[in-house]
Amino acid sequence: MIDAYFIHLLILICIYVILAISLQLSLGFTGLLNLAHVAFFAIGAYATALLALSGYPFWLCILFAGVLAALFGYVLSIPTNKLKGDYLALATLGFSFVIYAIVLNWISLTNGPMGLPGIPRPTFLGINFSNNNNFFMLSIFVTVIIYFVIYSITKSPLGKVMEAIRDDELAARSLGKNTKKIKSISMATSAFFAGIAGSLFAYYITFIDPTSFSFSNLIPILSIVIIGGLASLPGTVFATIIIILLPEPLRFIGFPSSVIGPARQLIYAMLLLIILYYKPKGFYGKVNLE
Amino acid sequence: MLLQVLINGIIAGSVYSLVASGFSLIYSTNKFVHFAHGAVIAFSSYILFLLFSILGINFWISSLLTITFTSFLGYFINYFIYKPLRKKKASASILLIASLALLIIIESLIIIFFGADVKTLNLIKVSEGIQIMGAIITPLQIIIIFVSVILFIFLMYFMKSTKLGKAMRAVADNKDVAEIVGISSENIYSWSFIIGSGIAGIGAILIALEQNIEPVMGTSLMIKGFTASVIGGIGSVPGAVLGSYIIGLVENIGIMFLPSGYKDAIAFVILFIFLFFKPNGILGVKKGLQK
């Protein structure tokens, strides 16, 4: 029983690691105050759910989830490329509200507030991932791959230009870098991995509804990134583990479930405020949030 | 039919303007997005609910207490959260994230203490609307429009003619120069929170009377208030009011064609259009928008 619960937490940690390190790519490395991450997560989850329910294979669903989210990320980056800090934050936040409204209201596609139940667990290369231990193996595999992909992006020349844009966009531009294009690439890549996280989430939970993708779900992801420290991938993994495990004792103290949800949000938000005050760079971060 | 849509738009616009003008006032001096403003409104609606419906205090006294309380809440938010962050040289982005965190904190507290269900004040019985050329408007809605116009005029007079209002405009225009001539910017920040939140308190009362009270109403109101401020020109109070009426009208025209659940999304589509083509808004100054 405890074991099964522990595996559940580990799978959640994997999904949140993917979400947080992909947000690091746009927020931490490129310095884009991107608050649309939960929308890309939603796009990935719904794309996967709809395709998997129509019987498409695992590899196609997860790839399509990523590509569709990336496409949305790219399209969103076009009008918002020229906006700075807090304006970008609000435009991207607006995008998450639009996606949320669509998910909630386009009932013929998404089944609205009733959600989409019965998403089949994936089968891939002859392995059936319907039990949680196998699914955990799958998630950790995907997470490790994504971690190394993002790690190599940040170490590549492209990643260095992203960091240059974060530190001084004008200087990067005067060196002949096409900063707008690179910002778009950063947003699209970041969205791609968020879409994949959404896909894993849909496969794992097997039921998705709009409440998993509302704006308040952004707070834990944002807290992870800020606590781990901007542009620090190991810090992000460390922070994810803390953030996921921190509210768990609440469950055992015996609060009613109607209080656990808001109490968890409360803890995340308080933690975020405390970190912003005492350690605005996070635990392993090297850069300030401009 | 068209007249009814127009009237509904104006009513919605009046409600939004109560949110947007306080938000815009705070933004104009503080220069960061106080996203928790919506949650402040939600919270004060619950305070009114507590005082009036649970404790049974006279409505006018409850209202007065609510407005006072909201002003203090704004003051304390600035004093205990934003001011220490500013002292640590926090950027506008950090303050924005802090305000998001604050929004979630207030919302969660409301859910923990009052529950997630919808509350109603039950002060005014559902009254017969007045017919004006086939369109229906209730007396309360007339009061809302009236109050929002009066508040706007008062705010304009305040900003133009009083010493405090002038000092606010000075800080909004150029903080450093204002400090050189002896205006304490920290003082002005506090005052804009007090006044902006006071307006929010008045808004909260009218919104609580007109609609139901629920914990997430703050976020939804903030979306409208913020969008209105941006399209009107952020940091300009008349702009925010103008923007509110535009949002109210477009929304009500929009839901003639779309399901009403898309209301929030419509506001954001307008926001995107403005951010793309006219990011300074209609009456805005271009200061500090782009790199």
**pLDDT value for B181:** 85
Interface contact flag, A101 B32, Cβ < 8 Å: no
**pLDDT value for B290:** 39
| Rounded distance between C-alpha atoms, residue A44 and residue A187, angstroms | 15
- Contacting residues for A285 by C-beta, under 8 A, at least 6 apart: A28, A228, A229, A230, A231, A232, A235
CB A141 within 8 A of CB A149: no
Per residue in A156-214, pLDDT tens? 988 888 888 888 888 888 888 888 888 899 999 999 999 999 998 988 888 888 888 88
| Rounded distance between C-alpha atoms, residue A245 and residue A232, angstroms | 20
Check if B81 contacts A (Cβ < 8 Å).
Answer: yes
Per residue in A4-25, pLDDT tens? 788 888 888 999 999 999 998 8
pLDDT band at B289 (very low <50, low <70, confident <90, very high): very low
Using the predicted structure, report yes or no on whether residue B87 has a pLDDT greater than 60: yes
Interface contact flag, B112 A105, Cβ < 8 Å: no
Span of A140-144, A233-237, B270-274, B275-279 with lowest mean pLDDT: B275-279
Which one, of A234, A241, A191, lies nearest residue A75 by Cα? A191
Interface contact flag, B104 A269, Cβ < 8 Å: yes
Q: How far is CA B169 from the centre of its chain?
A: 19
Using the predicted structure, report yes or no on whether residue A261 has a pLDDT greater than 70: yes
> CA of A262: which chain B residue's CA is closest?
B108
pLDDT band at B66 (very low <50, low <70, confident <90, very high): very high
Amino acid sitting at position B142: I
Paired tokens of A166: 């974060």
Per residue in B102-113, pLDDT tens? 998 998 899 888
Question: For all residues of chain B together, what is the average pLDDT?
Answer: 84
Least Cα separation, residue A130 to chain B (angstroms) = 35
Which residues in chain B are contacts of A280 at CB distance < 8 A?
Answer: 88, 90, 94
**pLDDT value for B125:** 62
| Average pLDDT estimate for B176-193 | 87
Amino acid sitting at position A91: A
| Residue B131 main-chain phi, psi, to 5 deg | -90, 125
CB B198 within 8 A of CB B67: yes
Using the predicted structure, report yes or no on whether residue A139 has a pLDDT greater than 80: yes
Which residues in chain B are contacts of A170 at CB distance < 8 A?
Answer: 291
b/e burial code for range A117-156 (CB count within 10 A of at least 16 → b) = eebebbeeeeeebeebeebbebbeebbeebbebbeebbee
**pLDDT value for A71:** 93
Q: Whole-model pTM?
A: 0.87
> Hey, what CATH topology would domain B2-277 get?
ABC transporter involved in vitamin B12 uptake, BtuC (1.10.3470)
Per residue in A58-86, pLDDT tens? 888 888 999 999 999 998 888 788 777 77
Which residues in chain A are contacts of B272 at CB distance < 8 A?
Answer: 79, 91, 94
Interface contact flag, A263 B112, Cβ < 8 Å: yes
Least Cα separation, residue B230 to chain A (angstroms) = 9
| Rounded distance between C-alpha atoms, residue B161 and residue B155, angstroms | 10
Q: Which of A276-280, B214-218, B246-250, B276-280 has the highest mean pLDDT?
A: B246-250
Strands B130-132, A127-128: pairing kind: unpaired
CB B268 within 8 A of CB A60: no
**pLDDT value for A147:** 92
> CA of B85: which chain A residue's CA is closest?
A277
| Average pLDDT estimate for B135-149 | 83
Domain ranges of chain B: 2-277
**pLDDT value for A72:** 92
CB A185 within 8 A of CB A81: no
Interface contact flag, B105 A280, Cβ < 8 Å: no
* CB atoms inside a 10 Å sphere around CB B257: 8
| Average pLDDT estimate for B169-195 | 86
Using the predicted structure, report yes or no on whether residue A131 has a pLDDT greater than 80: no
| Rounded distance between C-alpha atoms, residue A45 and residue A18, angstroms | 14
* CB atoms inside a 10 Å sphere around CB A42: 30
ipTM for this prediction: 0.85
Using the predicted structure, report yes or no on whether residue A1 has a pLDDT greater than 60: no
Question: For all residues of chain A together, what is the average pLDDT?
Answer: 84
Interface contact flag, A276 B227, Cβ < 8 Å: no
- Give the DSSP letter of residue A82: T
- Contacting residues for B86 by C-beta, under 8 A, at least 6 apart: B95
Instruction: Tell me the angle at which helices A2-23 and A218-228 cross, rounded to the nearest 10 degrees.
Output: 70
Check if B287 contacts A (Cβ < 8 Å).
Answer: no
Cα→Cα distances B15→A114, A149, B200, B221, B282, Å: 31, 49, 10, 9, 20
